[in-house]
Amino acid sequence: MSPPAPLPVGVLVSGTGTNLQALLDSVHGHEAEIVAVASSRVGAPALERAAARGVPTAVFTRGDYASRKARDEALADWLAERHVALVVLAGFMDLLGEPFLDRFPDAVINVHPSLLPAFPGLHAIEQALEYGVKVFGVSVHFVDAGLDTGPVILQRPVSLPSAGDPDEVLAALRPLEHTLLPEAVRLFARGALSRDPANPRRVLVERAGQLDDSAVDASERPGQVRDRAAAAGGAAGTVRDPAEG
């Protein structure tokens, strides 16, 4: 049997585009085909990354439209014309309203540099540092009309008990973002994401035929954290799981 056709993906950006690059370097041309990249900002470096791979780009600034609704509709039309089946927000610094989300039901995802629901919105890393957390992390979630409030698909924590500098935290989170976002796209393309009928906020992830309904990504289960710490000489029973907060 031939493999399924790649999933047509549209990526929305506003800035540097390292997450876009991670998608271009991993899933693009395999499970997914990035068929459109749209920016909310003129001159976003992410646009160059797309152009370098021959992906069509466009800019939809809020100021070019009479209302956010008009901008949302124009953006949705542009993506729909390219037959986009999944919209990925990769550093897109603008809210999308119902006129956009209704066009791609359950098919808009975002990557955010915190363990949601902690620290939604702008400056998540600075918010976390200000709060004084010891465990940081990354979430990939479905997008709803709220500010980073949609159901969580994947999360991965990283323990940084003495972090004090946003750049240090960002450097630790970047590789997680660049792994988790392509992984979520792969799972979506494979049809491996579903909702718990008893609680539609819970996204069920099917891996190798098994439902993995843990909130933490499989490669960083609490037990593994404990095992690793024990192997490194940590006293059993004294190591706290990052996922326990």
User: Is residue 128 a contact point for ligand GRF (CB under 6 A)?
Assistant: no
Residues forming the active site: 112
Applying CB under 6 A, among 15, 56, 99, 222 the residue interacting with ligand GRF is 15
Applying CB under 6 A, among 31, 79, 91, 100 the residue interacting with ligand GRF is 91
DSSP, collapsed to helix, strand or coil, labels residue 47 as helix
Q: Which two tokens stand for residue 100?
A: 């956009």
E-assigned strand segments in the chain: 7-13, 32-39, 57-59, 86-89, 108-112, 135-142, 152-159, 193-196, 199-207, 210-212
Q: Which is nearer to ligand GRF, 20 or 84 (CB)?
A: 20
What 176-180 contacts at long range (C-beta under 8 Å, 24+ apart), as own/partner pairs, is: 176/137, 176/138, 177/18, 177/19, 177/22, 177/111, 177/113, 177/138, 178/18, 178/19, 178/22, 179/22, 180/111, 180/138, 180/140, 180/154, 180/155, 180/156, 180/217
Separation CA 57–CA 173 (nearest Å): 27
Residues numbered 163-222 forming contacts with ligand GRF, rule: CB under 6 A: 177
Q: Which two tokens stand for residue 53?
A: 């791979």
Query: Which of these segments, 15-23, 150-158, 191-199, 226-234, binds ligand GRF (CB under 6 A)?
Result: 15-23
Q: Which is nearer to ligand GRF, 130 or 213 (CB)?
A: 130
User: Is residue 155 a contact point for ligand GRF (CB under 6 A)?
Assistant: no
Q: Which is nearer to ligand GRF, 120 or 234 (CB)?
A: 120
User: Is residue 141 a contact point for ligand GRF (CB under 6 A)?
Assistant: no
Residues numbered 46-85 forming contacts with ligand GRF, rule: CB under 6 A: 46
Applying CB under 6 A, among 28, 49, 71, 112 the residue interacting with ligand GRF is 112
Applying CB under 6 A, among 6, 16, 195, 222 the residue interacting with ligand GRF is 16
- Footprint of ligand GRF on this chain (CB under 6 A)? 15-20, 46, 90-91, 111-113, 177
